[in-house]
Amino acid sequence: MKVLVAYTTAYGAARGVAERIAQRLTEAGHDADLRDLAEPVDPSDYAAIVLGSSVHNGQWLAPAARFADLHRALLAGKPAWLFSVQTIGATSAMISARLAGWVRPKLKEPKVAAALRATANVREYRAFAGAIEPEQWPGPLGRVVFRLTGGRYGDHRDWADIDAFAARIVRNIDGP
């Protein structure tokens, strides 16, 4: 099956997640086409879509939002999976585990993902923690706040969780 794995990223963490998902789809025998939404992407030739974005200020980045708005009707007719890469993922976080455990149940999906769930054929949405370096956090005050929340620099992506998400996509595409 021909599957579009489209993403937008600020610093590369979402690209890494998308690459891993595309790799797992390819290993399962599917034709996975990895595309950066910084360039125009036409999803009409694909049987299924995986769409992801980095999250800043609780929302997907503009290229993913534009793609979703432009192709909302087409996405209603194809199976789709969504993912976000953000500070707190479903199984890992850039901040302390205690604070993440308190915040996680209160987190809302980014507006674009929630809107797609309501209008498109979304099979699953998943949030993953990303990666961060000191120069990526805005300003000295932001870095202090990050540290006060138990923030740790580095890569916090849970590759086992990402692989499990990709495996669920494969199972869903392949059927029972």
Angle at which helices 13-27 and 159-174 cross, to 10°:
40
Average pLDDT over residues 3-8: 98
Average pLDDT over residues 29-43: 96
Whole-number pLDDT of residue 79: 96
Q: With beta carbons less than 8 A apart as the criterion, state whether 41 and 11 touch.
A: no
Whole-number pLDDT of residue 61: 98
Average pLDDT over residues 61-70: 97
Sorted by sequence, the CB contacts under 8 Å of residue 15 that are 6+ apart come out as 7, 9, 36
The more confidently predicted of residues 30 and 148 is 30
Q: Are strands 154-155 and 131-132 parallel, antiparallel or unpaired?
A: antiparallel
SS3 91: coil
Whole-number pLDDT of residue 9: 97
The Cα 75–Cα 48 span in angstroms is 9
3-state helix, strand, coil in the chain (%, to 5): 45, 25, 30
Residue 71 has pLDDT above 80, yes or no: yes
Confidence at 176, pLDDT banded by 50, 70, 90 = low
Average pLDDT, the chain: 94
Q: Whole-model pTM?
A: 0.94
Q: What is the pLDDT of residues 136-145, one digit of tens each?
A: 877 888 888 8
The Cα 165–Cα 170 span in angstroms is 9
Judged by phi (left if over 0) then psi (alpha if -120 to 50, else beta), residue 109 lies in: beta
Whole-number pLDDT of residue 103: 94
Residue 93 has pLDDT above 70, yes or no: yes
What's the burial of 160, exposed, middle or buried (CB within 10 Å: 0-12/13-18/19+)?
exposed
Domains of the chain: 2-174 (3.40.50.360)
Whole-number pLDDT of residue 97: 93
Average pLDDT over residues 136-160: 89
